């Protein structure tokens, strides 16, 4: 074992993992020997796909915040609320905990996800001189934020339940709801399509100042 470089990647050893079942396959194979999924040593087009999805999500964030997201019918009067007016309305009604959850789920989480992914993709695409440690932290933050995506659905169901049951109003989603749902979907997809092995390549590349030199 002593002659094996501890930083070596499967790519250098002629091995690659299956994207579906994670089985180690030899690079000469075109399809996984276990589940028959197509194998790719590195999906370099994944960077472009990820950028395209991310930029679309960032653009859709504008209509999601400008246009009304809910339409309330209160005794014949129709009231439109954007994400922002919805939150201020909750604050004015002394519903702080729900206002905080709504702010986190509909403004903070999508924004952090887009900013985080942008930094991450920029670092890989333009080989920014960001330290290995920073990139690793960023990667884990994006993964961690991704787990909170279901919070949006939770908030929407709670809001609708509160409005429909408590105040006897009729709440319906308005145009921005579609844009908002697309933002969530597209940021999830942008993170999903990216081949994270490209980051490990970047971290282990020879021109990286942070590469450990003890083994060569």
As measured in angstroms, the least distance from the Cβ of 36 to Zn ion is 7
| Contact by Cβ (8 Å): 124, 50 | no
Residues that bind Zn ion (CB under 5 A): 18, 20-21, 23, 32, 34-35, 37
Tell me the Cα Rg of the chain: 23
Q: Which is nearer to Zn ion, 14 or 129 (CB)?
A: 14
In this structure, what token pair is assigned to residue 106?
């509909």
As measured in angstroms, the least distance from the Cβ of 49 to Zn ion is 21
Q: Which is nearer to Zn ion, 27 or 37 (CB)?
A: 37
In whole angstroms, give the CA distance from residue 173 to residue 166. Answer: 18
As measured in angstroms, the least distance from the Cβ of 62 to Zn ion is 40
In whole angstroms, give the CA distance from residue 94 to residue 83. Answer: 17
In whole angstroms, give the CA distance from residue 70 to residue 199. Answer: 40
Only one residue has tokens 């702010």, namely 103
Give 83's Cβ-side CA count (13 Å radius). 26
Residue 4 is classified by DSSP as S
Q: Which is nearer to Zn ion, 32 or 198 (CB)?
A: 32
Q: Which is nearer to Zn ion, 15 or 66 (CB)?
A: 15
In whole angstroms, give the CA distance from residue 202 to residue 38. Answer: 24
Q: Which is nearer to Zn ion, 23 or 79 (CB)?
A: 23
Q: Which is nearer to Zn ion, 21 or 161 (CB)?
A: 21
Closest listed residue to residue 136, CA positions, set 148, 120, 159? 120
């Amino acid at each position: 074992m002593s002659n094996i470089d501890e930083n070596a990647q499967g790519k250098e050893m002629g091995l690659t993992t299956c994207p579906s079942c994670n089985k180690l396959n030899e690079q000469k194979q075109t399809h996984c020997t276990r589940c028959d999924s197509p194998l790719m040593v590195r999906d370099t087009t994944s960077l472009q796909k990820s950028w395209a999805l991310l930029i679309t999500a960032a653009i859709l964030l504008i209509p999601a915040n400008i246009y009304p997201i809910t339409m309330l019918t209160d005794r014949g009067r129709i009231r439109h609320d954007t994400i922002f007016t919805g939150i201020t309305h909750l604050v004015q009604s002394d519903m702080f905990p729900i206002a905080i959850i709504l702010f986190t789920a509909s403004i903070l989480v999508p924004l952090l996800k887009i900013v985080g992914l942008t930094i991450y993709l920029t670092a890989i695409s333009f080989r920014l001189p960001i330290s290995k440690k920073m990139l690793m932290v960023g990667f884990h933050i994006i993964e961690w934020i991704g787990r909170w995506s279901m919070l949006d659905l939770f908030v929407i169901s709670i809001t609708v339940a509160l409005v429909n049951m408590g105040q006897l109003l009729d709440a319906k989603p308005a145009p921005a709801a579609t844009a908002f749902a697309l933002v969530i979907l597209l940021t999830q997809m942008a993170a999903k399509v990216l081949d994270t092995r490209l980051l490990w390549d970047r971290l282990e590349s020879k021109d990286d100042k942070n590469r450990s030199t003890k083994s060569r």
